[in-house]
Amino acid sequence: MAARRGSAAGVLAIATGLLSGCYMTVDPGDAASITDAGDGGMPTRSGWVAVSPVADTRPAVAISGYFADSLHTGPAWFLSMNHCAITQASAACIAYTCASATPTADTGALTARLPDGTVVQAMQVDGFIGGVATRVYGGVAEGSTIGATDVVRFQAAGASVPSFAGMVAMPPSLTDIHLPAVISRSSDLVLTWSARVSDRVSVVIMEPPFSTTPPRHGVWCSWPGGTSTVTVPASALSTFADGEAVAISAGLVNVTPIVVGDYAIDLEASQSIQATAMTSP
C-alpha cells in the first residue's frame, strides 16, 4: 500500500480542474431524500468528496472535497452555500453567476483508497467553487488509474466536520461524444452518446478558471442516469456574451449519500471529457 500526495502545483492544477469542473461533471445528490441525521433531526449542513481520473493524457487520479455550514436543498446546492445567483432556469439547466466563495470547513485528514491499494491524501489547497477561488480539499495520485465499476473508499478523520467513511463505484467513461468548438447563443445545444449506466448525467459550460475575475458565469445541467441525448436550451446559452471563451464538459456521475452528525455528505465518482469553445451569435 502506498500513500501519495501530489505536489503543490499538481494539487492546485487538479483542484482547479476538478472543482471548477466539478459542476461540469459532478451532480450532488438531493438532500430531500435524507430524513434523519442519526439523532432524530434533519441535517443542517452539506458537503461532498469526489474522485475522478485526471482530465489529461497522464495516468493520475484526483480527489477533492468541500464542506459548508448550510444545507443544500437541490442538485445545484453549491449555489446556496456561496455568493451565487441563478439568472435563468429550465427543467434540466440553470445559468448562474458567482461573486465569491466561502472556504471549506475542516474535516481533518481526508483520504481515498483506490482499488490498487493506493491511498490518496487530500490537503486544503487553493481551488475553485463555481469558478471562484477559495480553499478546498484536493489531492492527486500520480501514476494511478481508475475505471468503470472500481470502488473507491473515502475516510475523514474529523474536525469541525465529523469523521466519516464510505465508498462509491466509478461510472463508465464517455468515449463517443463530440464536444463543439463553437457554441451558438441562439440555438439549443444537443449532445448525444451511447447510453451508459450511472446515477446522473451532467453538462456544464462556464468561463475557464483564471480567465476573469469574479463574478463568474456558467450554465449547469443535470439529467437522470442512462440519458443518451441531452439538450442545453438556447435560453441558458444566451446568458453568455458573444465571442466568449468557455470550457465545456460532459460526464457520468455516481453518488453515495451519507449523513454524519448534522452533515449531509455526497460521496461522488465521475468520468468526463472536457474541451474549450467559443460562443457565437
For the residues of 31-80, what is the DSSP string, one character each? Answer: GGG----SSSS---EEEEEEEEE-SSSS-EEEEEEEEESS---STTGGGT
Q: In the prediction, which pLDDT does 129 show? A: 66
Per cent of the chain over pLDDT 90 is 48
Q: What is the span of the domain harbouring residue 66?
A: 3-280
**Could you tell me if 207 and 21 are in contact, meaning their C-beta atoms sit under 8 angstroms apart?**
no
Helices (H) and strands (E) in the chain, counts: 3, 17
User: Comparing C-alpha atoms, which of 164, 72, 148, 152 is closest to residue 109?
Assistant: 164
The total number of structural domains that make up the chain: 1
Mean pLDDT of 17-30: 32
pLDDT-derived band of residue 82, with 50, 70 and 90 as boundaries?
low
CA distance 24 to 157: 28
Tell me the one-letter amino acid at 45.
Answer: R
Per cent of the chain over pLDDT 70 is 75
Mean pLDDT of 157-165: 95
Helix (H) or strand (E) run with residue 19 in it: helix 8-20
Residue 22 pLDDT greater than 70, yes or no: no
Lowest mean pLDDT among 85-89, 154-158, 184-188, 271-275: 85-89
Residue 195 pLDDT greater than 90, yes or no: no
Lowest mean pLDDT among 60-74, 102-116, 252-266: 60-74
User: What pTM value is reported for the model?
Assistant: 0.82
What are the residues facing 247 on neighbouring strands? 206, 276
Q: In the prediction, which pLDDT does 125 show? A: 83
